Chains A and B, each alone.
Chain A
Amino acid sequence: MGKVTLDQLRALRESGKKEMNNRLSEGKTIEIIVGMGTCGIAAGGKLTLNSFLEELSSMDIKNVAIKQTGCMGLCYAEPTVEIRMPGMPNTIYGNVDAETAKKIVHSHIIEKKLVDKHVFNAPAKDIMKE
């Protein structure tokens, strides 16, 4: 495979956008925020991020924004991931390895059921704003 040029990339993006507009995905967006501080990186946050990308694209879920943030204050439970989506409470998950990321896609995002063993409901006190 040769290198994808910027023009080819632009064409791919535009054809994807047309498809997305046709689908009119209700304008509601799922937000996935992955902790990527030193602790998150050391615990394999990048593998988690990549697993979300692959699983969501294989399930053809498109109305998702994937963001990164620094340490959420739960270093002992990295990689941590926060999921915000309509119809579910904002949830922080801990110890999210690549496999757990797939579970979150299927259970939390598709079936709207929490993945109980990995739920951490609030950031540690030292980063909470007074």
Chain B
Amino acid sequence: MHRTLGDFLTDIFQNSVEAGAKNLRVTLIQDEKSFRMEVADDGCGMTAEELVRAQDPFYTDGTKHSKRRVGLGLPFLIQTAEMTGGEFGIESKKGEGTNVKVVLPQGHVDIPPEGDWAVTLSQLFSLPGDFEAVIDRQCFGRSYQVSRKELIEVLGSLEDLEALILLKQFFLSAENEISTGINEGEQNG
């Protein structure tokens, strides 16, 4: 099981990239009542039947590992939503894309810690591949938005060490700014 909310986001984002998405939109919103995370992509999508199967932990399409009998990415997220009284939703159309959404109530004892968003977001943006990703981040009314394309344009590449450190620094400053005024306990879950 993943240990932070950031790890759950990494998993579903990674799914989208592996599904050949060229455009991803990530929404990450926190307020007093809930934590909402959504990833919408234009990847290969799934048929209604594949969509049902993708939510079954004992199913995998076998393309990544021919002898595997489990696929745990989405089931981990569904389990977390179920055990915290949250909501999970997934919509997909073959050939058009997939939209995964989860809303978790604030304060439930089984909500995983958030983890370090600057580390998570810089890790997601530096995944290899030719894709655009836009993050819409909101935290208690403050927000920022940034796209992968503009960061690549500024940094030139997202692979060498120095670019990765600057990328993390960027997200760290952005996260610090939107979380100013929230007490430490709430910030770090």
Cβ–Cβ < 8 Å partners of B155 in chain A: 9-10, 13
Q: Complex: how many Å from CA A67 to CA B129?
A: 11
Question: In the assembly, what is the distance between CA of A46 and CA of B128, in Å?
Answer: 15
Contacting residue for A16 out of B64, B66, B151, B162, CB 8 A: B162
Whether the Cβ atoms of A53 and B65 lie closer than 8 Å is no
Which residue of chain A is the closest to B169 with respect to CB atoms?
Answer: A4
The reply to whether B18 and A53 form a contact with Cβ atoms under 8 Å apart is: no
Total residues of chain B contacting the partner, CB 8 A: 46
Closest beta carbon of chain B to A97's beta carbon, Å: 13
A46 and B161 in contact, given A1-B176, A71-B64 (Cβ under 8 angstroms)? no
Q: Are B170 and A4 neighbours in the complex by a CB distance under 8 Å? A: yes
Given A1-B176, A4-B169, check contact A68 B7 (CB 8 Å).
no
Q: Which residue of B lies closest to A11 (CB)?
A: B154
Q: 18 new A-B pairs (CB below 8 Å) besides A13-B163, A50-B123?
A: A1-B177, A3-B176, A3-B177, A9-B151, A10-B155, A12-B166, A13-B155, A13-B162, A16-B162, A36-B127, A42-B3, A50-B116, A66-B126, A68-B123, A70-B14, A126-B66, A126-B68, A127-B64
Residues of B within 8 A of A (CB): 1-3, 6-7, 10-11, 14, 18, 64-68, 72-73, 76, 115-116, 119-120, 123, 126-128, 144, 150-151, 154-156, 159-166, 168-170, 173-174, 176-177
Residues of A within 8 A of B (CB): 1-4, 6, 9-10, 12-13, 16-17, 20, 36-38, 41-42, 44, 46, 49-50, 53, 56-57, 61-62, 64-71, 73, 126-127
